[in-house]
Structure 1
Amino acid sequence: MTTATFTPKLITTLREGYDRDNFRADALAGLTVAVVALPLSMALAIASGASPDKGLVTAVVAGFLISALGGSRVQVGGPTGAFVVVVFNVIALHGYDGLLIATLLAGLILIAAGLARFGQLIKYIPHPVVTGFTAGIAVIIASSQVKDFLGLSIETLPADFIPKWQAYWAALSTINWVNVAVAAGSLAVIVGLRRFAPRLPGFLIAVVLSAALVAILGLPVDTIGSRFPDIPAGLPTPSLPDISIAKVGEVLPSAFTIAFLAGIEALLSAVVADGMAGTRHRSNQELIGQGIANIGSALFAGLPATGAIARTATNIRSGARTPVAGIMHALFLLLFMLFATDLMAFVPMAALAAILFMVAWGMSEYERFFVLLRMPNGDRAVLLITFALTVLVDLTVAIGVGVTLASLMFMARMAETVHVDASGKQDAELDAEDLQQRDDLPAGVEVFRITGPFFFGVAGELLETLRRMGQSPRVIILRMRLVPLLDASGVQALQEFAKHARLAGASVVLSGVQAQPKSMLTRLQSTRDAGLFQFADNFVEAQALAVRLVEGQSQDG
């Protein structure tokens, strides 16, 4: 166990040297992210069945701890859409104290997972399962906001999906058209700014404009102040919830769900951050940091927290250099809680519903979802079953069933790929060409030979090898003649590897791809991923293509 593996990135970056220029860049990035997180944190808290101040408390406490103790340079944490469903259900079944206990337990589970080095296990979650439950959560979040978007008069909204829509249908005659106008206008502002001025904080501008309009004109719409009249200013005093053995037993399944979601989203966000910023996160330390952050959030009566992909991406695009940016984002939010909490009362619920519609749209990954629908029947079934169970039954059931089905299909496919001919010679036996693959390798070209099924774990090993090489090659040849099977997760892994290679200035050539893997690559490659790799029928052709690519790069240079 190396010390570096469990060293927070904040300590590493400060040891490297931290000057005024770094602080200026981090402070500006932190302010930008705080502007985005301010309305979003309130909206997510309300959608989860809590008051808006709980979302801000989570963003301040957990956001600070995730940046200070996590394993990523630029990760920003806080409440996210992934928790809305499970948090709403826990509060409905066990009360807010039950949620705090579940969040404390989830924090302990995450710390244990990090110490046990479970951080690498994220790459073994099948991609159709991740996409299925993420899209399902998006549908649930959007469905939960119909009441506030339309201004419907419904005293108690059912938690389950179908009864909820039955309640909407029954209350359709109570639509508040002024409320609809405010919601639609807020949505139009957000979409318009994303399209024509993406650098501006669309969420905050929509909230400020709608609040000003409602206050000045005295429009008859629900606001945060009318629904939550007693919002406290600042952070509450930290304390433990009322814990009992019986209560722990009741919320333990929810705690595991929260820990699983927090770990999945945090590590996915860290991987995205690495791709955008060219950094490398420490997955096990990230889990430990997330665990401590969730314990801290629960002590201050906050919500579960994890790494937020959208806020992390905003942090990077705003010029963040170190974890200090995430810490500054939390401090700026704390200043708002201390000195401007009264302004929250003017925010219309309709504007927050519009924000959550946009959050749901971003979570849905609709492009990826429709691309995965072109998979073979088995993988498509995993995607659709996971999606349906998430929406109609339960998130925990959906993940369990999805992973189990994907694992069974993977084992069945592996059994079908083992072939031994009458002479006893196995297909995977090396020939002279394989043993001499580096003898005539052109300058600037690197080659890897892959044997067996390709999945996320293999991509991670390739990326690690690429990093250890120091100077990146100009062309990478992946020899895939002995890869009998490629599923959706394998395609995703190949695409991620090719994207990292392209960021490093290298082209990727796939050599000797068999029929099934080539079919999968062709079927599942979206338009935005076109051109990530080129194909060669055999290794000789791949070498010739690599030479042409190197020469072309030299001429361009």
Structure 2
Amino acid sequence: MYSTFERGGEFPLALSSRVKQIKYPSKQPYRWNTHAKFITSSLGELKDRRILRADIIAGITLSLVLIPQAMANAQLAEMPPYYGFYASFVPIIVSALFGSSRQLSTGPVALVALMVASELGQLAVGEQAYIAYAILLALMVGLLQFGLGVLRLGVLVNFLSHPVVIGFTNAAAIIIGTSQIDKLFGVTVERGGAHYERMIRMWDVISAGFHTPTLIMGLSAIALLFILRRINPQIPGVLIVAITTTGISWLIGFEQNYGGQVVGNIPEGIPAFALPIIDWGIVPHILSATITIALIGYLETISIAKAIATQTRQRIDANQELLAQGLSNIAGSFFQSFPVSGSFVRSTVTLRAGGQTGFASVIAGLVVILLLLFFTQLLYHMPLSTLAAIVMVSVTALIHFKPIASAWKVHKHDGIVAISSFALTLIFAPHLDQGILIGATLSIALYLYRTMKPRVAFLARHPDGAFRDAVEHDLELCDAIATIRFDGSLYFGSAGAFEDAVLERIRDPKLRYVIVDAEGVNEIDATGKEMLVGVVQRLHEAGIEVIFTRTKKQIIDALNRAGVLEEIGRDRFHATLDRAVAHVWGALEDQYPCTRSCPAECPLHRPRPDGDVFYRV
């Protein structure tokens, strides 16, 4: 099943599920020959002419979607539109060569472009410095992703919970769409300040007057995009709109006769290889954005790879994809690329066009190179309002509030996190990293809060023979025995809850045994261990013995390593609950016969001479 964004947006978020095709390698030193496996396997398949032909067709099809989207996303990143091409040939080729997903298409995407604009727009620098910092940001993002991949730390992205991401992306989609309003109306609005402040300035400027031909061109592009989507989502609407509006712009002289803004001259040729200019003074200012873009970009990429893998049944290496994304951004920065990541729309195009290997993406990259070398003049007359329309329509598929409502229904804490992430991202924009950081922190804090209050149930035997929650099933508890089930890890946050539950139950003066059903305990830390030993000792001094049943191996091993297993007593641990109950009643048989006041704890039917019912295994 696809997430909301996988159905038609740029950012799939299937975070709460894990597909079996994903391979998370063990924590062993990275082996560089892993790259060769992916490259050689694809090259070997290209010997089949059918696969080669399919990849060439898919690559050309992909390039027709990539070209207008690249320009639109470059504009969203507040860079000259042709920089989208610089981010569309080296990164897509490198990702195809080193990634494990055959249909994944890497390049400029809306969400990453927005984060670039949001971060660098605060620096209030000139265009050349802005471009240099964007290229530096790509290098830093790539180095971070590459380092995390080498250390096999891709799992860090799991700290961005599903509620955090759905709240963040809904807010980001709104910010993306509204940030293009000035270009749609053909007005100029000063950058800087909070996003809502810029919206106020934009309203003031538009109220004073706007460029009508630009607005007509933009609204026409929006209408045509929606119409084509409504007729058939498979129609390449972006390409058709780009060609149509560019042709109209050329025919009517949109720039010369009406004063409309167009893409203009695009430098011919591919940019020369050059190391990014490293300004150490600016690095600390863009470090938080580097972390956010690296994690969000990887999250976007691996979500796409998982979605495709469910259809193609290929195996995805998560850390390999992280390495590939890092290499894509590093290599791209040497050719003036801003940060990139995987694109769901373009990956889907590759899949539907019949792409079989990463060679399809290589073909798309080569088409972009040919465009830069020979055909840049064809794009001169493309209206900037068309690019704004492409961005605005594409993000409509990202705005879905149903997942937020669904998160609330699952658990109100998840709803709080999703709503908070949404609101904080809007409030702090353009500081998007702050919104997602606070959301992630809140998510972790609420999770820890929930684990501090795990479920504790007092068990009794149901008439059907099973041990069940005495409160839920209105079962009678035994005075002599307390059977407690604890569902949660015994760690510093929850140890107190376990201790309180035990101490609450031992107020009964007739109590002689406490049976702890530990099946729900998966982990124990030093605090939990100390609490456990202390409870056993204190209850023993009070004449109450503690018995453990169904304790998992990792808990036994932890207690054994800590040297307290013998101190507690190995004989206190039983494999099943029935055996633990039988052991206890064997010791209590004379003092506490199974009378009608205590039927639920007795092991098995057997009549006694006095008429009481006795149960024994």
* TM class, shorter-length: 0.7 to 0.9
Distance (Å, rounded) in 2 between the aligned partners of 1:91 and 1:355: 23
User: Do the aligned residues in 2 keep the contact of 1:157 with 1:167 (CA within 8 Å)?
Assistant: no
Give how far 1:354 is off.
0.9
Structure 1 or 2, whichever has the larger Rg, is 2
Amino acid in the other structure paired with 1:113: L
Structure 1 residues 18 and 403 mapped into 2: Cα distance closer, same or farther (>3 Å)? farther
Deviating beyond 6 angstroms after TM superposition, the runs of 4 or more aligned structure 1 residues are 451-454
Is residue 2:435 matched to residue 1:398?
A: yes
Is residue 2:69 matched to residue 1:69?
A: no
Partner of 2:75: 46
Alignment match of 1:89 (pick from 118, 123, 127) = 118
Partner of 2:208: 173
Number of residues of Structure 1 aligned to a counterpart in Structure 2? 430
Structure 1 residues 378 and 150 mapped into 2: Cα distance closer, same or farther (>3 Å)? same
Give how far 1:204 is off.
1.2
Q: How does 1:303-382 map to 2 (within 5 A)?
A: 303-372=338-407, 374-382=409-417
Give how far 1:412 is off.
2.0
Structure 1 residues 180 and 247 mapped into 2: Cα distance closer, same or farther (>3 Å)? closer
Give how far 1:7 is off.
5.2
Amino acid in the other structure paired with 2:261: T
Give how far 1:244 is off.
4.1
Is residue 2:290 matched to residue 1:255?
A: yes
- Aligned residue for 1:192, secondary structure, equals helix
Distance (Å, rounded) in 2 between the aligned partners of 1:221 and 1:355: 21
Give how far 1:158 is off.
4.1
Higher relative helix content = 1
**1:413-439: CA deviations, max 9, x gaps?**
22333315362442669xxxxxxxxxx
Distance (Å, rounded) in 1 between the aligned partners of 2:189 and 2:42: 52
- Aligned residue for 2:88, secondary structure, equals helix
Is residue 2:261 matched to residue 1:223?
A: yes
Amino acid in the other structure paired with 2:200: Q
Partner of 1:426: 485
Amino acid in the other structure paired with 2:370: L
User: Do the aligned residues in 2 keep the contact of 1:9 with 1:73 (CA within 8 Å)?
Assistant: no
Partner of 1:37: 66
Distance (Å, rounded) in 1 between the aligned partners of 2:383 and 2:348: 27
Partner of 2:500: none
Partner of 2:572: none
Amino acid in the other structure paired with 1:24: R
Q: How does 1:145-544 map to 2 (within 5 A)?
A: 145-151=180-186, 153-158=187-192, 160-171=194-205, 172-219=207-254, 220=258, 222-225=260-263, 229-372=264-407, 374-393=409-428, 394-421=431-458, 423-426=482-485
Structure 1 residues 248 and 427 mapped into 2: Cα distance closer, same or farther (>3 Å)? closer
**1:86-121: CA deviations, max 9, x gaps?**
211343316322222222121111111111112244
**1:207-262: CA deviations, max 9, x gaps?**
1111222221234253334xxx4421121101113324333333322222221222
Partner of 2:178: 143
User: Do the aligned residues in 2 keep the contact of 1:100 with 1:298 (CA within 8 Å)?
Assistant: yes
Partner of 1:130: 165
User: Do the aligned residues in 1 keep the contact of 2:159 with 2:440 (CA within 8 Å)?
Assistant: no
Partner of 1:485: none
Give how far 1:274 is off.
1.1
- Aligned residue for 2:482, secondary structure, equals coil
Distance (Å, rounded) in 1 between the aligned partners of 2:451 and 2:332: 44
User: Do the aligned residues in 2 keep the contact of 1:276 with 1:316 (CA within 8 Å)?
Assistant: no
User: Do the aligned residues in 2 keep the contact of 1:132 with 1:386 (CA within 8 Å)?
Assistant: yes
User: Do the aligned residues in 2 keep the contact of 1:34 with 1:329 (CA within 8 Å)?
Assistant: yes
- Aligned residue for 1:59, secondary structure, equals coil
Structure 1 residues 44 and 244 mapped into 2: Cα distance closer, same or farther (>3 Å)? closer
Distance (Å, rounded) in 1 between the aligned partners of 2:185 and 2:272: 37
Give how far 1:264 is off.
1.4
**1:310-347: CA deviations, max 9, x gaps?**
11111111111111111111111221222111122100
**1:441-499: CA deviations, max 9, x gaps?**
xxxxxxxxxx8699xxxxxxxxxxxxxxxxxxxxxxxxxxx9xxxxxxxxxxxxxxxxx
Distance (Å, rounded) in 2 between the aligned partners of 1:285 and 1:305: 16
Structure 1 residues 274 and 177 mapped into 2: Cα distance closer, same or farther (>3 Å)? same
User: Do the aligned residues in 2 keep the contact of 1:104 with 1:298 (CA within 8 Å)?
Assistant: yes
Distance (Å, rounded) in 2 between the aligned partners of 1:324 and 1:27: 8
Partner of 1:478: none
Structure 1 residues 8 and 80 mapped into 2: Cα distance closer, same or farther (>3 Å)? farther
TM-score of the two chains, using structure 1 as the length reference: 0.72
- Aligned residue for 1:224, secondary structure, equals coil
- Aligned residue for 1:243, secondary structure, equals coil
Give how far 1:129 is off.
0.6
Amino acid in the other structure paired with 2:195: F
Distance (Å, rounded) in 2 between the aligned partners of 1:10 and 1:308: 21
Identical-pair percentage:
26
Partner of 2:562: none
Is residue 2:53 matched to residue 1:24?
A: yes
Give how far 1:277 is off.
2.2
Partner of 1:459: none
Distance (Å, rounded) in 1 between the aligned partners of 2:83 and 2:233: 28
Distance (Å, rounded) in 2 between the aligned partners of 1:13 and 1:187: 39
Distance (Å, rounded) in 1 between the aligned partners of 2:49 and 2:189: 54
Amino acid in the other structure paired with 2:38: K
Structure 1 residues 385 and 64 mapped into 2: Cα distance closer, same or farther (>3 Å)? same
Partner of 1:441: none
Structure 1 residues 60 and 20 mapped into 2: Cα distance closer, same or farther (>3 Å)? same
Structure 1 residues 121 and 239 mapped into 2: Cα distance closer, same or farther (>3 Å)? same
Amino acid in the other structure paired with 1:419: V
